[in-house]
Amino acid sequence: MGFIALSATRSLAQAPAPAPSTPPDDTPSIRLGVTLFPNYTLQLEPKIDDADGNAVRRNGFDVTRAYLNVTGNVSHLIAFRVTPDIARETNAASALAGSMVFRVKYAYGQMNLDEWMGSASYARFGIQQTPYLDFMEGIYRYRFQGTMFVERQGYFASADAGASFHYNFPSNYGDVHGGVYNGENYQRPEVNDQKDFMIRASVRPFAQHAPELRGLRATVFYDAGHYVKDAERKRFIAAATYERPHVTAAFEYLDAHDQTSVKTLNVHSRGYSVWATPKQSATSVGWEGLIRYDHLTPNLENDAQKQSRLITGIAYWFPHQGNVTTALMLDYDGQIFKNVTAAPNKSVIVHALVNY
C-alpha cells in the first residue's frame, strides 16, 4: 500500500503544469484594400445616331466600380468597414451629370460573437451587405461582368442601411443571416416609416459526406417589406448551388410582389437564372468559362411579355499571392424582349478585375 501511495505521489509531482491561456489580441488595426472593374464595351445592337446623324455602334472605356475598402478592428470583439463607391452620375438634370461621384457603399460596425456562438457569428449595424446578394456573389465570382439576375432586374441591391445578425451552423452545415433594413437600398435615404425584414438560410445537407456531394447547397431568401403602409414589396428566392474543383453551377428562382401605392395594382413577377462556370484548373487560377441565362416575366397578368438575357464568356484568372485577385474576361451579353416595346441590346465587352 505504501508503494502504491508513493508512486501516485511521484506521478502527480511529475505532471506538467497546464499552459497559460492566450489572451485575445485587442490591438487596434486598420487595413486598406482596392477593388476595380474597368471595361471596354462595343454595343452591337441597337445602333445610335451621333451628333451628325450617322448610325454608329456605341463603344467606350469605363470603370463600373472603384472601391477603397477600409476595414479594421477596434478590439477582438469590435470590427468595422467603410467602403466609398465611385460611380458615374447618370441624372441628366444634375450639375454633375456624366461625372464620377463619391458615395458610401458600406459603412458599418460589427460585433464579433465567436466566443459565444462559434466562428463567423456576428451582429452588424449601419450600411451593410443585404443577406442574399453578397452570399451568392461569393459563389458566382463574376460580379465584375455585371450584376446578378435579381439585382440587374431592379428587385433589390447588394447593400442597405439596417441591423443584422449572422450565425454559422456547426460542422459546415450552413448558415443563416437576417436583419431589418430601410428597404430603400444604399443609394437613397429612408423616405417613410416602413422597413424591410430580410432573412436567408443556406444548408449543406451532405457537408460531412463524400466530396461529390459536399458541394451541394440549398438556399432560401425572403424579403418582407412595404413601399408605403399596406402596399407590399416582397421577394422570395430559392436557389441551389453546386461547387466542385472544375465547375460551379447554380439555379435561382424569383417570385416578387410590388405595389408602389394602395392606389395601384399589385404587380406579381416571376423569373429564374441558371449559370455555370467550367474551369480548366482545380485551383482558382487559369482559364474559366461562364454561361448564364436569365428569364423574367415582369407581370404575370400579362404573361406574353418576357425578358431574357444570355451571357457567354471566357476569363483568365491570374496567379496571385495572398488575397490579391486579378482577372481578364471577354464576353457577349445579349438581352432580348418579347412583346415589350424595347429594342434588343447586344454587346461584346472586355472586363478586368483587380481586387487587393
Per-residue model confidence (pLDDT) at position 14:
58
pLDDT band at 233 (very low <50, low <70, confident <90, very high): very high
- pLDDT score recorded for residue 64: 87
Whole-number Å distance between alpha carbons of 175 and 206? 14
CA distance 162 to 185: 10
Q: 450565425: which residue's cell? A: 167
- Three-class SS state of 19: coil
Name, of 42-51, 95-104, 236-245, the range with top average pLDDT.
Answer: 236-245
Q: Give the model confidence (pLDDT) of 265-292 as tens digits.
A: 999 999 999 999 999 888 889 999 999 9
Please choose, from the candidates 166, 185, 187, the residue with its C-alpha nearest in 3D space to the C-alpha of residue 176: 166
Beta 59-73 vs 196-203: how paired, if at all? unpaired
Using only C-alpha atoms, the chain has a radius of gyration, in whole angstroms, of 25
**Taking a C-beta distance cutoff of 8 angstroms, is the pair 140, 152 a contact?**
no
Average pLDDT of span 348-355 = 96
Chain mean pLDDT for the chain: 90
| Residue 87 pLDDT | 75
Position 4 pLDDT exceeds 50? no
Q: Which residue has the higher pLDDT, 99 or 333?
A: 333
Q: What is the mean pLDDT of residues 100-129?
A: 92
Alpha carbon distance 217, 132 (integer Å): 14
* pLDDT at res. 65: 86
Q: Which domains does the chain have, with CATH numbers?
A: 26-355 (2.40.160.10)
Q: What is the DSSP string of 133-193?
A: HHHHHHHH--TTT---HHHHTTS--SEEEEEEEEEEPGGG-EEEEEEEE-SS-TTS---SS
Q: What are phi and psi of 254, to 5 degrees?
A: -120, 135
In one letter, which amino acid is 67? Y
Rounded mean pLDDT, 119-127: 94
Q: What is the pLDDT of residue 16?
A: 60
> What is the sign of the dihedral through the CA atoms of 180, 186, 189 and 191?
negative
What pLDDT sits at residue 2? 43
Instruction: Give the model confidence (pLDDT) of 186-217 as tens digits.
Output: 888 889 999 999 999 999 999 888 888 999 99
CA-nearest of 323, 23, 317 to 142 is: 317
Residue closest to 167 by CA, chosen among 117, 205, 204: 117
pLDDT at residue 324 above 50? yes
At residue 323, the pLDDT reads: 83
Across the range 304-318, mean pLDDT stands at 95
Tell me the per-residue pLDDT of 61-108, one tens digit each, with 9 for 90 and over. Answer: 999 888 889 999 999 999 999 999 877 777 777 777 778 787 889 999
pLDDT band at 10 (very low <50, low <70, confident <90, very high): very low
Mean pLDDT in residue range 140-155: 94
Q: Give the pLDDT confidence score for residue 341 in this predicted structure.
A: 78
Give me the mean pLDDT over the 233-257 stretch: 97
Kind plus residue range of the DSSP H or E element containing 6:
helix 2-14
Instruction: Say if residue 20's pLDDT is above 70.
Output: no
**CA 174 to chain CA centroid, nearest Å:** 17
Distance CA 236, CA 221 (A): 6
**Residues of the chain with pLDDT > 90: what percent?**
69
